[in-house]
Amino acid sequence: MNFAYEYNFLPIEDAIKILLESVKIRKGGFKTHINESIGMILNESIVSPVDVPEVNRSAVDGFAVCSDEVSLASFNNPIILALKKNGEGFDCSSTVQVNTGMPIPSPYDSVVMKEDARIYEHSVHILKSVPKYGNVSKKGEDLKKGDIIAEKGQILKPWHISLFASVGIKEVEVLEKIKIGIIATGSEVVDINNTHKKGEFYVFDSTSRLIYASLIEHNFLQLTHYGVVEDEKEKIVEVLKKALEENDIVITTGGTGPGERDLTFDAILNLNGQILSRGIAMRPGRPTTIALIEGKPIFLFSGYPVASFVALRFIFLPFLSKYFGTKGLENIEIPAKLTKRVTGGIGYDTFIRVNVFRCGDELCAEPVMLRGSGILSSLLKTNAFMIIPRNVEGFEEGETVWVHLI
């Protein structure tokens, strides 16, 4: 047995750190219409070219007034102002009707709501006073010219698109899509579209489909699935080579174990690949292996779906986020009270599927302890993961733990 075959089980953070130091993926940016930019990674920082609002605007339907002039106005003591039209000379003894969103002409500083005034042909009786800038959206109150709307690396959300539009920005520069190639391996694994390949002993490919379906929501990625490859080194080398040529990153599922059928590892050595981490100190997902070929990372995920999902969520996506400096990919961690004791294993991070639900005045997390990383149905029954760090033995019932919603 070759030394290179031995696991070293790097901790997750160390594997990510080594990846960040070794990987070389260069992506350019391109200009795109803001309506096409949702979910893409912004490749420039965007500052507001204008104040928002650009001028003082009315926040209601009503009458623009000088607040000092109407300071004593009340129902019993209406202040009478001359009603002017736009284009006529305005002064504090007059008023002009304004609708919501309309600029406030000088010298007015505030707006009396329609229902607090009585309109006559040439005059308006103001029945209520208004403070200075009352009912006015002030110039720059939402954004000031030069304010940062979105930083480089931001994964664009609906409100970014809306803000770009509101300040008149029609195009932004986004990062080219990151190309991900996905390869399933295993002679016993059958793609659901190729059922004629079913042998006596087979399983359908569900793991690479889980990876594919999990990544497809990210608009900044471009996915290519290379189907299922048999456990023959030449075939794996061939597909891996093609996938590396066509993508920035390759993910394989299956073939990570120490068994003689686990040839993906061999294929990588064959292509002069460098192993960054043979195994990761995590459970499930211990055989997860990370390699590098000509600057491009290859993630060897377990053939087991849950192990693979954990590696995707807690290694692959955090790596992507850090490497490309993205903002907005991380989810907030949530505290919840454990409903029963859980134990992990010293030396590796243990990921436990939990079902988070409201219990009285807090959230509870019910661990779903199912044997084996192959238990795909556990993802149906749970809505979060909790982590027992590798230096912690476990958590007691009633303790607060931090969970990641899925």
Angstrom distance (rounded) from CA 372 to CA 66: 74
- Of 326, 31, 27, 28, the closest CA to residue 169 belongs to 31
Residue 270 in contact with residue 233, Cβ under 8 Å?
A: yes
Residue 355 in contact with residue 368, Cβ under 8 Å?
A: yes
Residue 277 in contact with residue 246, Cβ under 8 Å?
A: no
The DSSP symbol for 343 reads E
Residue 11 in contact with residue 281, Cβ under 8 Å?
A: yes
Structure tokens at 102: 């309309």
Q: Which helix (H) or strand (E) holds 334?
A: strand 334-338
Angle among Cα 342, 348, 354 to the nearest 5 degrees reads: 35
Q: Which is nearer to a second copy, 14 or 333 (CB)?
A: 333
Residue 349 in contact with residue 281, Cβ under 8 Å?
A: yes
Angstrom distance (rounded) from CA 6 to CA 401: 34
CA distances, 264 to each of 23, 203, 234, 302 (Å): 20, 19, 10, 11
The DSSP symbol for 100 reads T
Beta bridge partners of 171: 33
- Of 314, 68, 303, 94, the closest CA to residue 204 belongs to 303
Q: How many residues does the chain have?
A: 406
Q: What is the spatial order of strands in the sheet that 110-113 belongs to?
A: 110-113, 62-65, 94-98, 79-84, 123-126, 117-119
Structure tokens at 192: 């659901």
The DSSP symbol for 332 reads P
Q: Which helix (H) or strand (E) holds 309?
A: helix 305-311
Angstrom distance (rounded) from CA 228 to CA 208: 9
In this structure, what are the phi and psi dihedrals at residue 16, rounded to the nearest 5 degrees?
-65, -40
